[in-house]
Structure 1
Amino acid sequence: MGASDNTRGLILAMVSSLFIGASFILKKKGLRRAAAAGTPAGVGGYTYLLEPLWWIGMITMIVGEAANFVAYIYAPAVLVTPLGALSIIVSAILAHFMLKERLRQMGILGCVSCIVGSVVIVIHAPQEHMPTSVQEIWTLATQPAFLIYVAATVSIVLALILHFEPLYGQTNVLVYLGICSLMGALTVVSIKAIGIAIKLTLEGINQIGYPQTWFFFSVGVICVIAQLNYLNKALDTFNAAIVSPIYYVMFTTLTIIASAIMFKDWSGQNVSSILSEICGFITVLSGTVILHTTREEEPATSPGTISWYDGDQAKGLEDAHFTRLHNSDYFDQRNFPLETDVRT
Structure 2
Amino acid sequence: MGFSGDNLKGFILALLSSGFIGASFIVKKKGLRRAAAASGVRAGFGGYSYLLEPLWWAGMVTMIVGEIANFVAYAFAPAVLVTPLGALSIIVSAVLAHFLLKERLHSLAVLGCVMCIAGSVVIVVHAPQERTITSVQELWRMATQTSFVLYVASVIVLVFVLVFHFSPRYGHSNVLIFTAICSLMGSLSVMSVKALGTSLKLTFEGNNQLIYPETWCFMLVVLTCVITQMNYLNKISVRRRNSAQTKRVNSPME
TM-score (norm. length: structure 1): 0.58
Q: How does 1:314-325 map to 2 (within 5 A)?
A: none
2:87 alignment partner, SS class: helix
What is the CA–CA distance in structure 2 between the aligned matches of 1:7 and 1:59, rounded to whole Å?
A: 25
What is the CA–CA distance in structure 2 between the aligned matches of 1:87 and 1:78, rounded to whole Å?
A: 16
Q: Does 1:193 align with 2:195?
A: yes
* TM-aligned CA deviation for residue 46 of structure 1: 2.6
- On the 8 A contact 1:70/1:195 being kept in 2, the answer is yes
* TM-aligned CA deviation for residue 45 of structure 1: 6.7
RMSD between superposed Cα atoms in Å: 3.8
What is the CA–CA distance in structure 1 between the aligned matches of 2:208 and 2:88, rounded to whole Å?
A: 35
Structure richer in helix, relative to its length:
2
Identity among equivalent pairs (%): 53
Name the structure 2 match of 1:209: 211
What is the CA–CA distance in structure 2 between the aligned matches of 1:30 and 1:49, rounded to whole Å?
A: 10
Q: Does 1:46 align with 2:22?
A: no
Aligned residue type for 2:13 = L
- Unpaired runs of at least 5, structure 1: 242-294, 304-344
What is the CA–CA distance in structure 2 between the aligned matches of 1:187 and 1:75, rounded to whole Å?
A: 16
Q: Deviations over 1:302-331 (max 9, x none)?
A: 69xxxxxxxxxxxxxxxxxxxxxxxxxxxx
What is the CA–CA distance in structure 1 between the aligned matches of 2:110 and 2:196, rounded to whole Å?
A: 37
Name the structure 2 match of 1:153: 152
Name the structure 1 match of 2:96: 94
Q: Deviations over 1:102-149 (max 9, x none)?
A: 22233222222222222222222222123112233233334xxx3232
* TM-aligned CA deviation for residue 67 of structure 1: 1.0
- Unpaired runs of at least 5, structure 2: none
What is the CA–CA distance in structure 1 between the aligned matches of 2:107 and 2:48, rounded to whole Å?
A: 36
Q: Deviations over 1:39-63 (max 9, x none)?
A: 2451747377243x33322211110
1:298 alignment partner, SS class: helix
- On the 8 A contact 1:177/1:234 being kept in 2, the answer is no
Aligned residue type for 2:8 = T
Distance 1:299 1:223, change over 3 A: closer
> Which stretch of structure 1 is more off in the superposition, 177-186 or 194-203?
177-186
* TM-aligned CA deviation for residue 29 of structure 1: 2.6
What is the CA–CA distance in structure 2 between the aligned matches of 1:65 and 1:153, rounded to whole Å?
A: 23
Name the structure 2 match of 1:27: 28
1:81 alignment partner, SS class: helix
2:39 alignment partner, SS class: coil
- On the 8 A contact 2:178/2:235 being kept in 1, the answer is no
1:208 alignment partner, SS class: coil
What is the CA–CA distance in structure 2 between the aligned matches of 1:194 and 1:139, rounded to whole Å?
A: 14
* Aligned match for 1:127, one of 99, 112, 129: 129
What is the CA–CA distance in structure 1 between the aligned matches of 2:160 and 2:53, rounded to whole Å?
A: 38
What is the CA–CA distance in structure 1 between the aligned matches of 2:113 and 2:170, rounded to whole Å?
A: 30
Distance 1:200 1:96, change over 3 A: same
* TM-aligned CA deviation for residue 153 of structure 1: 3.0
2:206 alignment partner, SS class: coil
* TM-aligned CA deviation for residue 16 of structure 1: 0.8
Q: Deviations over 1:18-51 (max 9, x none)?
A: 1011111122233444555x32451747377243
What is the CA–CA distance in structure 1 between the aligned matches of 2:20 and 2:159, rounded to whole Å?
A: 34
What is the CA–CA distance in structure 1 between the aligned matches of 2:118 and 2:50, rounded to whole Å?
A: 41
Distance 1:104 1:74, change over 3 A: same
What is the CA–CA distance in structure 1 between the aligned matches of 2:114 and 2:92, rounded to whole Å?
A: 12
**Count, aligned residues:** 240
Distance 1:120 1:240, change over 3 A: farther
- On the 8 A contact 1:21/1:91 being kept in 2, the answer is yes
- On the 8 A contact 2:17/2:70 being kept in 1, the answer is yes
- On the 8 A contact 2:34/2:53 being kept in 1, the answer is no
Q: How does 1:4-23 map to 2 (within 5 A)?
A: 4-23=5-24
Distance 1:134 1:176, change over 3 A: same
What is the CA–CA distance in structure 2 between the aligned matches of 1:233 and 1:12, rounded to whole Å?
A: 23
> Which stretch of structure 1 is more off in the superposition, 189-198 or 113-122?
113-122
Aligned residue type for 1:23 = S
TM-score (norm. length: structure 2): 0.75
